[in-house]
Amino acid sequence: MDRLLLAWYDREGRDLPWRRTRDPYAILVSEVMLQQTQASRVVPRFERWLARWPSAEALADASRADVIREWQGLGYNRRAVSLHEAARRIAAGGWPADLTELPGVGPYTAAAVQCFAWGEPVLPVDTNVRRVQERTGHAFTPECGQALMDLGARVCLARVPRCGECPLAADCPSRDRRYEPERRQSRFEGSFRQRRAAVLRRVAESPRPLAELDGEAVAALSRDGLVEVDDGLVALPG
């Protein structure tokens, strides 16, 4: 199956900017951005981010306020704070042997950096990779990482897989099966996440009096290190 999958990927694989580099910092940035965000939305933001902060050292020297402003629109803004702190630790002491020691880096992100940047024999298993593994029952090698992600994102879909387009269909025990819908993420519209985002967007424009803002959202943003409250004024961290 590996050979068939890799041949398909050579023909059909997406041309994404983070696939053209072995720089661990660039790959870390891409993986953090891709958490909860579609690749098509990430591409222009990734390129802009790397143009502004091309290395961990450059990002480490940035202010947290600038990092948060640059992240606006990607959602889940706590990721920006974690990435900034990770860059500061890397700049100060290099890359740790255990990447999960870095803020915001879990086992999947650590494996992605190890595999895609350093060529280590570890397969990063995200939702798409796990789905293809479970349906085929095959143990893919780490060389198949990017191909598995594309296959899961574009062909081996969660509910109605496109088996007619799949290079693995002939030997797949799950061919032509249909699946129950997975639990969907709660709606953004009207949610507390939306309230937080609205407050952060206003504060990113300029400091605001606490009395003008959603106090509950401000408190949550403050706990996450996204805003600071001083003498009744809410602002981005310095």
The predicted-structure confidence for 55-88, as pLDDT tens digits, reads as follows 999 999 999 999 999 999 898 899 999 999 999 9
Of 62, 96, 116, the position where a domain reaches its end is 116
Query: H helices within the chain, ranges in order?
Result: 2-12, 24-34, 39-52, 56-60, 64-71, 78-93, 107-116, 127-136, 145-154, 192-205, 215-223
Out of 12, 31, 47, 182, which one is annotated catalytic?
31
Q: List the CATH number of the domain containing 76.
A: 1.10.340.30
Say which residue the tokens 């091309």 belong to: 54
Does some domain include residue 124? no
Does some domain include residue 57? yes
Does some domain include residue 154? no
For the question of residue 212 being annotated catalytic, the response is no
Of 76, 91, 116, the position where a domain reaches its end is 116
Domain extent at residue 199: 192-235
**Number of domains comprising the chain:** 2
Does some domain include residue 45? yes
Does some domain include residue 181? no
pTM: 0.87
Q: For residue 188, is pLDDT > 80?
A: no
Does some domain include residue 163? no
Does some domain include residue 151? no
Does some domain include residue 197? yes
Query: What percent of the chain lies above the pLDDT cut of 90?
Result: 87
Tokens of 76: 């889940």
Q: For residue 155, is pLDDT > 80?
A: yes
With a CB cutoff of 8 Å and minimum separation 6, the contacts of 238 are 63, 64, 65, 228
Of 60, 85, 116, the position where a domain reaches its end is 116
